[in-house]
Amino acid sequence: MMDDIVFQAKNLQIHAMRDDGSELPIVKGVDFKVHRGEVVALIGESGSGKTTISLSALGYCKPGLKFAGGQAELLGQDLTNMTTDALRPLRGQRVAYLAQSAAATFNPALKINEQVTEAPVIHGTKTQNDANLRALELYRALELPNADTIGDRYPHQVSGGQLQRLMAAMALCGDPDLLVLDEPTTALDVTTQIEVLKAFKKVIRDEGAAAIYVTHDLALVAQIADYIVVLYNGEIKEKGPTDVIINNPQHPYTKRLIAASRLEPQTQHSAQEQPAEIEPPALTTTQIDAGYGPTKDGRPLVQILHDVDLSVQRGQTVGVIGESGSGKSTLARVVAGLLPPASGSVVLADETLPPALAQRNRDQLRRIQFVYQMADTALNPRQRIRDILGRPLEFYTGVSGREKKDKIDELLEMVDLPKSFAGRYPHELSGGQKQRVNLARALAASPDVILCDEVTSALDSIVGANVIALLKDLRERTGIASVFISHDLSTVASYAEHLVVLYAGRVVESGLTHQVLSNPQHPYTRLLIASVPEMRIGWLEDAAKARITPTGTSDNKFSTASGCPFMPRCPMVIDNVCSRVTPPRRQANPGSNHGFACHHDVNALAVETVSPESHQI
């Protein structure tokens, strides 16, 4: 067993080449081994060098990087000083790579099957026919629908979760000795993530392959890895078998990582705020119907939102949660006025807002601000931070000169950034700092309501947790109300007092966060909660066993004018009712505002409760 080493990094060093010719160490002497049949996880935040290290197993450095010392040995052969031509037979053959975003990794102009079978055919280890058969076998093993024909499609014709599994097929088609998986499930919804993870784990076991699994998510690692390497700033902080690292971490950084992925649900805060409900909510939406495309009889061609109600008090947060395509961002766009709703109204404190942006006056615009997910694309790369913050200040408050400068300093201070950042450009900032600037820009308008669209999704867990802490602090200090949109239940739960669960554009359940989480009623809410990975070994197997609902793919998600949208996946469908009648709204407890939309009442649902024991988030 000891001799059966597939990959070994020996004092591996990788440097970045700067424009002035100097070199910056990115990976500073890393040692670890991957045995046959073993999954080794590289864990750390962005900038820790985890992706760079994983790519060394393919002898590849991203443009601008180079091997500076040590060895990366694949099957005893050092890759660091090999030419591209010498590496080519190994790549795709001995070692295969799975990237984070399958949507970007598949060539949009080529059919899937050609891309899946390309490597072994080009390397001459399989004929096209053999490769096709192997691909088909993998499609079946990965539980892809329509395995016989899926290869004839183009990448844009299948869903994200399917594409991610197809990428696994692409990697495995050449029967590699080593798989390198770079955050392969990060871009997926939680309910889809389980399925993909399960498929990966099964295939890795069945094929007896070794794997390097790169991720920032410790709970995921606990499910799939045998051995964990914790990286920080290009150095190994701690390494060891999975159960040791998870249950008995030694290094402070590992402890922080574990703490950051165990965010505590928001409970007591809301209880104190209850009396505040007497004053009118800061923001209310009533019976919003909205969608895209030309409208006919007052209905848009593609209706996304059906009858969505939401309300948030001053100084509070409502979390909107749902899978991608559930209409979360559409809701935010309706509130912001970017998408006028087909019907329903948006009320800001006491005033009903005009539906379209162009009809709102400057003060109405000021009072609602949007914080986008990708700070990278939301900040103009050619403007200094002072200009990015100065524009909304001037526009909404009319300040200028000395006063404006003071306000900019104040804003930077509010988001815990040094004043000196005012003169910097966005690319000189880290991801977390950029997201703070993004937030400061929204705050520059001194809004009543901020709409946060997946603001922590692009950030590492520790950085994301810091941004959440900042948001909580700002909420206390300014009394701002926020709508917090996310697909990540644990993040929402740690910040929002109220929860709205969206499924296919309908509110399926809503209420105080702790009530919804501790006593979920709607089958979808239950599925969602059960899908959040827990940091314990064996959770994946338990969760997979307990699952009674079919895979969450966008194929069986549909938006209907009447009936329950969750019907195709629901384990307790009532024939001839769920498909035709829109479910009534029910109360989970008398007197509370915890409600859900289902044809079953609380008692009927209680009978079906799925693995109720511990779904702590």
Instruction: Find out whether 116 and 135 touch, Cβ atoms under 8 Å.
Output: yes
Q: Which is nearer to another protein, 158 or 308 (CB)?
A: 158
Task: Tell me the closest approach of the beta carbon of residue 97 to another protein, in angstroms.
Answer: 4
d(CA 74, CA 598): 55
CB of 100 to another protein, least distance (A): 9
141: left (phi over 0), alpha (psi -120 to 50) or beta: alpha
Q: How far is the CB of 138 from another protein (least distance, A)?
A: 15
Distance in angstroms (rounded) separating the CA atoms of residues 487 and 470: 20
State both tokens at 171: 């990697």
User: Rg of the chain over CA atoms, in angstroms?
Assistant: 25
* Shorter beta-carbon distance to another protein: residue 85 or 148: 85
CB of 170 to another protein, least distance (A): 8
7/396 with CB nearer another protein: 7
Report the nearest approach of another protein to the CB of residue 156 (Å).
5
What's the rounded Cα separation, in Å, for the pair 581 and 116?
Answer: 43
Read off the amino acid at residue 569: R
* 3-state DSSP assignment of residue 385: helix
- Selected range binding another protein among 102-110, 249-257, 314-322, 409-417, rule: CB under 8 A: 102-110
Tell me, residue by residue from 8 to 47, as one string, x for binding to another protein by CB under 8 A and - for no binding. ----------------------------------------
By CB under 8 A, which span of 54-62, 190-198, 391-399, 457-465 interacts with another protein? 54-62
Which C-beta is closer to another protein: that of 94 or that of 547? 94
Count CB atoms within 10 A of the CB of residue 83. 8
Please report whether residue 202 would count as binding another protein according to CB under 8 A: no
Question: Exactly one of 2, 109, 358, 607 binds another protein (CB under 8 A); which one?
Answer: 109
Q: CB 37 → another protein: shortest distance, Å?
A: 23
Give the type of residue at 95: V
Among residues 110 and 271, whose Cβ is nearest to another protein?
Answer: 110
Beta bridge partners of 232: 235
Q: At what angle do helices 112-123 and 128-141 cross, to 10 degrees?
A: 130
Contact between 349 and another protein per CB under 8 A: no
* Contact present, 42 and 53 (Cβ < 8 Å): yes
The CB-of-115 to another protein minimum distance in angstroms stands at: 8
Q: Rule CB under 8 A: say whether 51 interacts with another protein.
A: no
Reference 7, options 97, 83, 85, 88; nearest CA is 97
Please answer whether residues 588 and 594 qualify as being in contact, where contact means their C-beta atoms are separated by less than 8 angstroms. yes
Tokens of 431: 């991801």
Q: Is 107 in the site for another protein (CB under 8 A)?
A: yes
Rounded CA-CA distance 535/545 in Å is 17
CB of 106 to another protein, least distance (A): 6
Q: In the range 116-135, which residues lie near another protein by CB under 8 A?
A: 118-119, 122-123
The site map against another protein for 445-484 (x = CB under 8 A) is ----------------------------------------
H helical segments located in 274-415 = 328-336, 362-367, 375-378, 385-397, 401-414
Neighbour order of strands in the sheet with 5-17: 23-35, 5-17, 65-74, 77-78
Binding marks (x or -) toward another protein, 137..176, rule CB under 8 A? ----------------xx-xx------------x------
Q: Smaller CB distance to another protein: residue 156 or 382?
A: 156
The CA distance from 83 to 306, in Å, is 58
For another protein, the closer of residues 104 and 271 by Cβ is 104
- Residue range at the interface with another protein (CB under 8 A); choices 9-17, 114-122, 218-226, 374-382: 114-122
108 belongs to the binding site for another protein (CB under 8 A): yes
| Interacting positions 365-394 with another protein (CB under 8 A) | none
To which residue do tokens 């061609």 refer? 301
DSSP structure class, residue 613 = S
CB of 312 within 8 A of CB of 450?
Answer: no
Closest separation in Å from C-beta 491 to another protein? 26
Quick note: the x/- pattern for another protein over 60-99, rule CB under 8 A, is: x--------------------------xxxxxxx--xx-x
Closest CA to 318 of 177, 449, 155, 477: 449
- Enumerate binding residues for another protein (CB under 8 A): 55, 58, 60, 87-93, 96-97, 99, 101, 104-110, 118-119, 122-123, 153-154, 156-157, 170
